[in-house]
Chains A and B, each alone.
Chain A
Amino acid sequence: MTSLIILSPLIGFALISLFLFRWKKLCGWISVGSLLIPFVLIVQLFMQMQSNPSSFPQVISVPWISIMGLHFELGLLFDQLSILMGLLVSGVGSLIFIFSMGYMEEDKGYSRFFAYLALFASAMLGIVFSNNFVQTFIFWELVGLASYLLIGFWFSKDSAADASKKAFLVNRVGDFGFILGILFLWFLSDPTGVSRTVDFAGLAQSIPTQVQLGVISSGAILLAGLLILCGVIGKSAQLPLHVWLPDAMEGPTPVSALIHAATMVAAGVYLLARTFFIFTISEELLTIVAIIGGLSAITAATMAVCQSDIKRVLAFSTMSQLGFMVLAMGLAGPVSGMYHLLTHGFFKALLFLGSGCIIHAVHTQNLFEMGGLSKKMPITTLTFLIGTLALCGLFPTSGFFSKEEILTLAHGHSMLAFIVVLGTTFLTSFYMGRVFSLTFLGPQRKPSDIHESPFILLFPLIVLSFFSIFAGFFGIPELLGRAAHESHHGTEGNFLALISTGVILFGLISSYLIYGRKTQSQDPLSKGLGPLYTLFERKYFIDEIYNFYVSKIQQPFARLCDITNEWIAIKALSHWTGIVVYQVGNVSRKLLTGNVQTYALILAVQIVVIFTLVVILFKL
């Protein structure tokens, strides 16, 4: 029954793509229904867990491959982490599906879109509930495939086709490290080779024991952790594999919401939490994770400040928030990281869907062509404001609580981490204030007929707003398994909260002062920051560096390999081998005349030769 959690959207995908392609409305409903079934099942599991916590974690598994020393299972793992994550994925996912029904209404590929969405949801739930690395990897790749299909949904647009390819390839780079890491961990789980395993539970038991026994060196753990981290970096768009994320905005807006809020990018952080038992072993590993997270957070925030495309700002803010989560993991606070992941899922989905409503209404993504929408679209404005405040982390929204966790964690760890978090918080509130001011306040820059969105678009926004505000009061850290007395709400917490609130308000107000009052067709910051602005706007030229590497280094090297292959391996070696063999055969063919007498002669000569040799050699 519980396997329906994964199978139901998969069946939905199969039904739509095989049979029901023509009935558009039906496809939408089937897709939504196929994700609501898992949602209901997970809610049921959640209730069970609340009433009877001792019976969890539960594992349901069937053997899949079992050859000597090689045992793989297909299984579902239900524990606090996976059930909460599953709730987020299926819950927010369902809302996004419903939103899509309104948003994509006039699109020709309506049925196709919902088929892909269902596939994506299935793959994502597969990652969340997987109980071993191999199954995780399979669904991990399926998520990659589905995201490729969704980002390139409008494939006739060149930029979308390129973006989907880019997302897929960049993810592949990370995934390559990931699969090596899986193989390595499988090897490490029992170097003697008797009982190797890829189970999370089995690994969590065997790896620390092996380390304690001194069978595995700390270097091996470091390597394994770094390889797993590769996959995390690719999926969660951390430095230096973040380049696919802004381009992924070429997909339809619900896709951006799906990929950037609750699912794909969250998968990386989720995996980090799931495999945290590896990372806790090595101090260096945690430091590397923290550095990557912190760097991603602050660089992404600076990039977000200078974008003029509303979805790109949100994309960079996602990267920045994911940096926070990874930083929290690196500071040994997996609960705080997951907490922020869950609350971020709500308000980022809200922001993306809100931006979808805006784009739906004004038909542009350029911030400097919007403005004054608050009068025309009051509900969208209100919900977007809630999302903005939650993302900034203002009391009492959910973002406040989860961000405060990370801030406290950073403060307890080192000054540098604290400054990074605080700086990112300031930048976050600044660019979100900028987006809000440019979109909703001030005069309308592009006069056109703008209406509030229909109810089907607003309904998900309202639900998500509710959760964005109140998710902080549900006690999520306790649900994730932290004991209640551990939460950090002392005087130090209050002090930090005061500082961060001040920083956020400063960011919001300064952005309002710069952008909110006057009509600007150009960003005033571009004059103020000068060359720095260009640096931020062009994303630190990382794309250009990669382009240079690919076209100027990798491409010539590939061509060199091609020439070597063509002229030495193919032409010289294999061709000439062929010629020699052919000629030898051609000559020796003459020996076979078909004349029996010749054969007999050859036979006789051979006998004579052999006898002579025998006589000479054995001196008979």
Chain B
Amino acid sequence: MRFRGKLVDTACIQHFSRVLGTIAKLCKTCVLRITADKLYFILLEKVVSGGTHTWCEVTQSHFFDEFMLDGLSKEDNEIFLELVPENLLRAMKTAQVAKWIKIKLTKKHTPCLTVEVDLPTAIGLSRNVVHYISVTVLPKRLWSDYEEPEMPEFDVSIALPALKLLRNVVDKMKSMSSYVIISANHNGEMKLLTETEVALVCTYFKDLANPTWKSGLDAHFFRSPHRSNVDKREFFDVKVDCKKLAQFLNVQQLCPSRVICNLNANHLIHVTLLHDDFSLQYFMPAVVS
């Protein structure tokens, strides 16, 4: 098993650090799946600690100038690593102005992801900084746990407003209550509602788009069997953990081009972030009350 990648462009380095930063904020440990053309950061949270699920796909060629992979075998040309994203982020943080960064899978005492950074110096010499981040290589029998999640059924799909705005609202609600109810309808309306014993706060968003999925898919995914009969103004609610939602909304630093949220009433929310060179899917189960 061999893996080596080289980042050269400063913009790529910074963008990759931002992706890592987002991942690191969401969880303590994650699984990095490396394939010939993509990197996947997969976070599977235990049900007791919230049960969220994140699937982040990064197109390798958009970031890496050199990329070499010898996977487990010819048929399974992939590597699954378990690592602490925070460590990788720390290594990248002091390397923002680097001439190049090499990321390699190496074997020290334990398997390591070696991050080699070449920094410029005042007198034109290069300064080498090496970080050894120990990782766990996952055996093939565990790979199936980290397969791409299936698109869940949903009642309504809505394009979210600017995440920064949303985050500000949720941050305020966080201090009031630990839960927030997200509701949306087919009329491009969404609301965030939270309540305490003495107050009820609801934020309304309107004129949002209801993306249409491919016609074939539509029929499959929409739970409501007779869409024509459904009142367009009927709201579907999902009650979720406010802290988790606020934590997730930190992804706004990635400036995604499009964010779509699918709601499965009283069951889960599924948020998809789309960007030129990466995509991120986030699943958050509803809180039963």
Q: Do A and B come from one complex?
A: no
Interface, chain B (partner A; CB < 8 A): none
Interface, chain A (partner B; CB < 8 A): none
